[in-house]
Chains A and B, each alone.
Chain A
Amino acid sequence: MNENTVFVKNYRENEILPAAESEIWRYAGFLGNQNEINAELSQTFENVKNEIKDLFSYKVCYRRTELLWEQGEPVLPFCVHSKALAKLLEGCGEIIVFSATVGLSIDRYIAKQQRISPVKALLANAYGAERIENLCDTFCGDIKNQLQNENKYITRRFSPGYSDFPLESQTEMFALLDCNRKIGVSLNESLLMSPSKSVTAIMGIKYEKYSSSVKQKCGDCKKTDCIFRKQEK
């Protein structure tokens, strides 16, 4: 078992699913009908897309390790007590811990546009959010396919800060993944990540047939008044 190795995956733009524009508008706080977007705003969005298209550098680092269970609790490679996480990992024999980022350039672009055009900053920020989610979906999709060859299945991903999975776990996840060295992500004192468009997460590997979507759902988030909350179908 190569439990000790942190693997790095670099993705090219064409390996990531194309940007989902409806998601970008949603992240930008636009919840209306997209037909209502006037020419001026559409043009601004087109300009933003052109200006940032080369700014992303997609990187993921991850570790795959065995998962042992003690008295009904998963023994993770870091200290955490989270009922929601334990529930997600039920029946899993392995886990994948990963961190992903789209790089710092988009943060710089956003900072600059805040001085020039706040609406461009807002749209670029939303675009960046869509990109990092999409990178995670792409990576999880790859792992899902890879595991199919081993007749194994992944759960959806779960990040510090979700439900009762404490944000404090970030520190240990960072040590475990050597994020700064591997993909250039660092953690500040408030447990915030830089670059800002970065994610850390954990997912379980099941040995019995199991079906999950790589897309994230809002179902178990407690912030029910969130304007970004998706209606569960």
Chain B
Amino acid sequence: MTVLDYMKNNFVFLDGGMGTLLQKQGLLPGELPERWNITHADKITDIHRQYFDAGSNIVNTNTFGANCLKFSEEELEEIIESAVKNAKKARETSNGTQEKFIALDIGPLGRLLKPYGDFDFDEAVECYAKTVKIGAECGVDLIFIETMNDSLDTKAAVLAAKENADLPIFVSNAYGEDGCLMTGASPAAMVAMLEGLGVQAIGANCSLGPAELRSVVSEYLKYSSLPVLLKPNAGLPKSVDGQTVYGVLPEEFSDLMENYARDGIRILGGCCGTNPEYISKTVQRVKKITPKPVTDKNVTMVSSYTHAVEFDQVPVLIGERINPTGKKLFKEALRNNDIGYILNEGLKQQEKGVHILDVNVGLPEIDEEEMLQKVCFELQSIIDLPLQIDTTNINAMEKALRHYNGKAMINSVNGKEENMREIFPLVKKYGGLVVCLTLDEDGIPDTAEKRVEIAKKIIDTAKEYGIPKKDLIFDTLAMTVSADNKSAVATLKSLNTIKNELKCHTSLGVSNVSFGLPHRDILNGAFFTLALENGLSAAIMNPNSNEMMKSYYSFKALKGLDENCSDFIENIEKYAVSEASVTSNSSVSSNLPDAQSELQRAVVKGLKDKAAEITSLLLENTEPLSIVNTQIIPALDIVGKGFENKTMYLPQLLMSAEAASAAFEKIKSKLKEKPAETVSKGKFVIATVKGDIHDIGKNIVKLIMENYGFEVYDLGKDVAPEKIVEEALRTNTKLVGLSALMTTTVPSMEETIKQLREKAPDVKVIVGGAVLTKEYADSIGADFYAKDAMETVRYSLQQK
């Protein structure tokens, strides 16, 4: 019998702690327990046998840390082979009569993935793959991925298991006291991602005792349509009279586990501090209960690395602004690789309250595969909203889905046979909630009936791939009413049928309805309300539209979806004023001499809003460049000198820099009208060197250099020497700034300088960072050591 067959109708019992028992047997601090599979095979076999004797159905091999980061490939093979052999021997010799299975145990690699660590996702998948391949060849019954404290790392391990073995996969995460993984994911987020990836059982282990895991367990049982597993610690270890004591004893442990079994946990075991006695007691207690059936919770969710967004009664807002269509500046940003611009579009929409961000970076002249993955990665570095990956390029779609941290929305599939055959395998492999457009080979049907027919066809085809209805969301296509005044009716009618009869979720790109008409916002808002009333679950929309936001908050309040109307009261003020009346009624007079000195004062004092406001006023009758030269630069000089003379310090310098940036924003948009004029003082490439992930200092230099009029090309952190050289050549820059914070990363700084000297000999290199000194900078061949941002500015200005 396979483990999957067995678990259909039975509780499954896991084993308990291994590390604690090995320490009792003499494992030394810092010693790698996996080596004991070879050196102390008997002891390992004996522990496994004790667990089988205690009633465990599944014993995990002693391979928690068996990966290629810790062991050579040769040793890794020997360790895993011995480990599986030990477990098999224990199975043969145990006197237990229950069904017995052996799981290949996989723990985290111990390296944090990018962006907050330095380990690459693809490399992590490769590492896990090596362990999986060896284990699968040795003949295990399942793969048990456990104690994972990061969602992306979990995904890497699961993909490796899926791609390199045809075995059931159980996944167990380690939650902290706050009920989240160390890197922030909630249980619901993990359920969404792991169900999407198609594993066979999910749950929690380690870090906490059974009682402390209560809220985590409840969330799993609420959302998971898969069997849930639980493998808690025996509480936390305490030192009592020099002896280590775990807080929860076998009796209490089995008591709590019995309760969890009654609540619906189907797979039970123990982690640190538990031993065969804990398991045996748990087995005795739980065995008497009838297992609660595992049911389909039918919850539609997407997730980010922190939380899940559920599609239920409250409408979900999907921000549409990350999209180059019809946006000149966005296109320019894409061509210039200006990720900062795109991130700002994301941040602004998050601020406005959207729940999900649509990401479309398709432009004929750029490499969409690379760009889409990069943009998703950068967005996920600073914004915790789930993303909707929006592309027609199937390779770009796969790459983005593979690297996405969580369960993404996928935009989109349609009723064309060929399209479904392309998209559904990706959904099956990586998980996702797919936007399904109700069009097919014959185009967009005019009637609601035909659109519903297409929806049915899509549901049936998805089913063939094993994709459930809950992972499909239907877009019945809003068309402009100016071209066909029946089109909105057809859209709404099909929406209604799909929601109420097919019981599927729906979404719409709402604003298409008003194309070609004046005051589009007003029509969009009205259509949005109608669509919501007809069962719209989510809207792809522009959160800057007041009318749309008004509809959203009003709908929630009117439909009993906003307790005490508190969301409405809190937010509606912002949208109550019409755009036209928002013009500034500033107290600042445009009486020039005063306003001018006022701008200087605003920059020096770091008054961001005021600086922007005064600049706007000045721009009405002053040349932009004159404002820069007579106001902003002198103000910055006052601050810069203050900083150098230590009458002003870094926080004040940055306040002024931000105020100056706000003024520059206004000036730049004015200059766009006369492209010939520029404030550029020259180009500057900046990066934190390879291996280093500190970037606060680098970003300060970037900001101040921009203030002084340099065009800054920021490559970010952990940047390879080749990349820096490439960018210097591409932009034809004569100044490069490098930052390193650790003695261990100065060698990559040295290497970067070496490569720059070879390939771009006329470039001047400025270096900085906590561990550097002038002598150190000279010894690695830098042109200049800058101890702070102002020194970088002074040196750079001299180079002209």
Contact = CB atoms under 8 A, between A and B. Distances in A.
A112 B383 contact: yes
A196 B770 CA distance: 15
B178 interface: yes
B744 A78 contact: no
Nearest to A176: B30
Nearest to B115: A111
Interface centre among A8, A110, A194 (most CB of B within 10 A): A194
Contacts of A64: 239
A104 B383 contact: no
A196 B691 contact: no
A19 to B, nearest CB: 16
Interface stretch (B367-375, B651-659, B671-679): B651-659
A61 to B, nearest CB: 10
B652 A30 contact: yes
Interface centre among A63, A161, A192 (most CB of B within 10 A): A192
Interface in A111-131: 111-112, 114-119, 121-123, 125
A15 B645 CA distance: 40
A121 B694 CA distance: 12
A19 B451 CA distance: 61
Contacts of B692: 190, 192
A118 B699 contact: yes
Interface stretch (B7-15, B116-124, B631-639): B116-124
B108 interface: yes
A105 B703 CA distance: 24
B364 interface: no
A32 B650 CA distance: 10
Given A2-B244, A28-B651, A181-B206, A190 B30 contact: no
Given A40-B607, A77-B29, A181-B147, A186 B110 contact: yes
B606 A40 contact: yes
B745 A57 contact: no
Contact of A114 (B108, B112, B119, B699): B699
A110 B695 CA distance: 10
Contact of B742 (A2, A3, A59, A191): A191
Given A30-B650, A116-B347, A194-B117, A184 B242 contact: no
B182 A41 contact: no
Interface residues of A, number: 65
A25 interface: yes
Interface centre among A29, A105, A110, A181 (most CB of B within 10 A): A181
A188 interface: yes
Given A30-B652, A44-B655, A108-B382, A38 B606 contact: yes
A144 B147 CA distance: 32
Interface in B693-748: 693-696, 699-700, 703, 742-745
Contacts of A119: 606, 651, 654-655, 657-658
B606 A30 contact: no
A190 B745 contact: yes
Contact of B23 (A4, A37, A192): A4
B382 A167 contact: no
B647 interface: yes
Contacts of A103: 182
B119 A188 contact: yes
Interface in B220-237: 236-237
Contacts of B744: 167, 190-192
A8 B695 CA distance: 31
Nearest to B340: A115
Contacts of A117: 658
B652 A114 contact: no
Given A30-B652, A103-B182, A191-B744, A180 B239 contact: no
Interface in A20-47: 25, 28-32, 37-38, 40-41, 44
A38 B652 CA distance: 9
A148 interface: no
A145 interface: no
B649 interface: yes
B344 A195 contact: no
B693 A2 contact: no
B112 A186 contact: yes
Interface string B538-559: 0000000000000000000000
A180 B242 CA distance: 25
Contacts of A111: 115, 381-382
A38 B605 contact: yes
A10 B242 CA distance: 20
Interface string B96-111: 0000000000011011
B649 A104 contact: no
Contacts of A107: 116
Given A41-B652, A118-B703, A190 B696 contact: no
B691 A190 contact: yes
Interface centre among A40, A65, A119, A184 (most CB of B within 10 A): A119
B696 A121 contact: yes
Contacts of A180: 108, 110, 149
Interface in B592-644: 605-607
Contacts of B347: 112, 115-116
A118 B244 contact: no
Given A57-B178, A115-B340, A186-B111, A29 B650 contact: yes
B270 interface: no
B649 A30 contact: yes
Interface in B572-595: none
Interface centre among B119, B176, B651, B695 (most CB of A within 10 A): B651
Contact of A104 (B183, B646, B696): B183
Given A2-B242, A186-B112, A122 B651 contact: yes
B159 interface: no
B650 A57 contact: no
Contact of A7 (B28, B108, B239): B239
A91 B23 CA distance: 29
B143 interface: no
A6 B233 CA distance: 14
B667 interface: no
Interface in A174-188: 174-176, 180-181, 184, 186-188
A228 B56 CA distance: 57
A112 B699 CA distance: 12
Given A4-B29, A114-B696, A116-B347, A31 B655 contact: no
A2 B657 contact: no
A139 to B, nearest CB: 15
A77 B30 CA distance: 8
Contacts of A51: none
Given A4-B23, A41-B652, A122 B112 contact: no
A5 interface: yes
B243 interface: yes
A180 B28 CA distance: 18
Interface in B237-266: 237-239, 242-244
A189 interface: yes
Given A41-B606, A190-B691, A190-B744, A118 B112 contact: no
Nearest to A150: B242
Contacts of B30: 77-78, 172, 175-176
B651 A30 contact: yes
Given A29-B649, A122-B650, A167-B743, A189 B118 contact: yes
21 contacts: A1-B242, A4-B23, A7-B238, A7-B239, A8-B237, A32-B647, A38-B605, A104-B182, A110-B696, A114-B699, A118-B699, A119-B654, A122-B696, A181-B110, A181-B149, A188-B112, A189-B691, A190-B744, A192-B691, A194-B117, A194-B693
Please name the 6 residue pairs, one residue from A and one from B, whose CB atoms are nearest each other, closest first. Answer: A184-B182, A29-B650, A119-B654, A188-B118, A190-B691, A2-B244
Given A5-B237, A7-B238, 4 more contacts: A8-B237, A111-B115, A116-B347, A186-B112
